[in-house]
Chain A
Amino acid sequence: MDDFNLGSGAYDELLNLLNNQHFTEKPGAATDLEFLSDDWWLRDTAVVENIVKRQGMWEIQLVFAHYRQPYKLIKRVIERYPSKDKAELNARYMKRLAAKDQRGTLKVNLDDFRLCAS
Chain B
Amino acid sequence: MADLSTKQKILNASIQLFNENGMANVRLQQIANEIGISVGNLAYHYRNKEAIVEAINEDLYEESTTILSSYRIFPNLIDFDHQLGKYYDFIQRYPFYFFDLIEIKRHYPEVHAKKQVHVAKMIQQIRKRFDFNVKRGLIQAEVRPEVYDGVAHTIWVLITFWGPQSLLRENQLQASNCRFRKMVWNQMHPYFTPQGITEYEQLILPLLKKS
B127-143 with Cβ < 8 A to chain A: 128, 131-132, 135-136
The smallest C-beta distance from A102 to any residue of chain B, in angstroms, reads: 45
| Size bin of chain A's contact surface | 10 to 19
Complexed CA–CA distance, A19 and B132 (Å): 6
Do B128 and A16 touch (CB < 8 A)?
Answer: yes
- Across-interface contacts of B136 in A (CB, < 8 A): 22
Select one of A3, A11, A18, A23 contacting B135, CB under 8 A: A23
Q: How many residues of B contact A (CB 8 A)?
A: 14
Complexed CA–CA distance, A3 and B128 (Å): 24
B22-71 with Cβ < 8 A to chain A: 71
The smallest C-beta distance from A24 to any residue of chain B, in angstroms, reads: 11
Complexed CA–CA distance, A5 and B120 (Å): 12
- Is residue A55 within 8 Å, beta carbon to beta carbon, of the partner chain? no
- Across-interface contacts of A118 in B (CB, < 8 A): none
Complexed CA–CA distance, A15 and B121 (Å): 10
Q: A8: nearest residue on chain B (CB-CB)?
A: B120
- Is residue B125 within 8 Å, beta carbon to beta carbon, of the partner chain? yes
A61-87 with Cβ < 8 A to chain B: none
Indicate whether A8 sits within 8 Å of B124 (C-beta atoms), given known contacts A18-B72, A23-B135: yes
Select one of A11, A19, A21, A23 contacting B121, CB under 8 A: A11
Complexed CA–CA distance, A21 and B132 (Å): 10
Do B72 and A11 touch (CB < 8 A)?
Answer: no
Select one of A3, A5, A12, A23 contacting B124, CB under 8 A: A12
Select one of B114, B120, B135 contacting A19, CB under 8 A: B135
- Across-interface contacts of A16 in B (CB, < 8 A): 128, 131
- Across-interface contacts of B124 in A (CB, < 8 A): 8, 11-12, 15
The contact sample of 19 A-B pairs, CB cut-off 8 A, is A3-B114, A5-B117, A11-B121, A11-B124, A12-B128, A15-B124, A15-B125, A16-B128, A16-B131, A18-B71, A19-B72, A19-B128, A19-B131, A19-B132, A19-B135, A21-B72, A22-B132, A22-B136, A23-B135
If A18-B71, A18-B72 are given as contacts, then 13 extra A-B residue pairs at C-beta distance below 8 Å, sorted by A number, are A5-B117, A8-B120, A11-B121, A11-B124, A12-B124, A15-B125, A16-B128, A16-B131, A18-B128, A19-B72, A19-B128, A19-B132, A22-B72
Q: Point out residues on B near A: beta carbons under 8 Å.
A: 71-72, 75, 114, 117, 120-121, 124-125, 128, 131-132, 135-136
Q: Point out residues on A near B: beta carbons under 8 Å.
A: 3, 5, 8, 11-12, 15-16, 18-19, 21-23
- The 10 closest A-B CB pairs, nearest first, are A15-B128, A19-B132, A18-B72, A22-B75, A5-B117, A11-B121, A19-B128, A11-B124, A19-B131, A8-B120
